[in-house]
Amino acid sequence: MHIVHPDLDTYLLEHCSPAADDVLRDLAEETRQAVPDLTSMQITQDEGAFLTLLTQLTGARLAVEVGTFTGYSSLCIARGLADGGKLIACDRSEEWTATARRYWERAGVADRVELRLGPALETLRSLPREENVDFAFIDADKGGYPDYYEELVTRLRPGGVIALDNVLQGGSVVDETEQSEPVKAIRAVNDAIAADVRVTSVMLPLRDGVTVVRKR
């Protein structure tokens, strides 16, 4: 299912800023060459610009990312942090995040990113149960989304924001014949957020769907 008409794709990419610089372009190209089958895991330039914008709008000093891969989204978040800010980047792949580390160095943000390798749920549960997270981005295994959301929303400060990627699953969320575990988990978190009195939220048709949640 095309969520946005393909004819609009280039136009959308051309009308957001900042445009991807050499660092982001090289990272996208290196990822495409290294793992061609997995390129779709990486967020696109417009979603990256959106993450930088959300990080800036929340004035984030503490951000958390679940699902780092080769580092595109983490770079966009790190670039939006307030002075002295920190991003805790969670992933379980040493191999893919080795690329991310190189690009954090090249972009001059390595000192703002703290990589936590391991199962993301364990990492999130190890964080203090304080409401001190300003911004979070969830983009890892879909089955984990309900738990990642719950662990993060309890740690979000009032006014803080969580963005969740792939919430439309290529349209499968509205296809009742689709009963795979990842899609069921995404439906569950989408329903939970819509009914969650702790937050206000909107689901945007950006790429594969991005939900933006603000804690009251």
Give me the least distance between CB of 7 and ligand SAM, in Å please. 25
| Residue 96 touching ligand SAM (CB under 6 A) | yes
Name the residue nearer to ligand SAM (CB basis): 5 or 140: 140
Strands annotated E in the chain: 62-66, 86-91, 113-117, 133-138, 156-165, 199-204, 210-215
> Of 35-43, 128-136, 176-184, 199-207, which segment contacts ligand SAM by CB under 6 A?
35-43
- Which residue pairs from 198-206 have beta carbons closer than 8 angstroms and sit at least 24 positions apart in sequence? 198/153, 199/153, 203/167, 203/168, 205/3, 205/4, 205/168, 206/46, 206/47, 206/50
Name the residue nearer to ligand SAM (CB basis): 141 or 178: 141
Strands annotated E in 2-150: 62-66, 86-91, 113-117, 133-138
| Residue 55 touching ligand SAM (CB under 6 A) | no
Give me the least distance between CB of 39 and ligand SAM, in Å please. 9
Give me the least distance between CB of 176 and ligand SAM, in Å please. 25
Question: What x-and-dash track marks residues 70-89 binding ligand SAM by CB under 6 A?
Answer: x-xx----------------
- What number of CA atoms fall less than 13 Å from residue 201's CA on the CB side? 24
138 and 88 Cβ atoms separated by less than 8 Å: no
| Residue 46 touching ligand SAM (CB under 6 A) | no
Q: Interface residues for ligand SAM in 128-187 (CB under 6 A)?
A: 139-141, 144
**Three-state DSSP class for residue 134:** strand
Task: List contacts with ligand SAM (CB under 6 A).
Answer: 41-43, 67-70, 72-73, 90-93, 96, 119-120, 139-141, 144
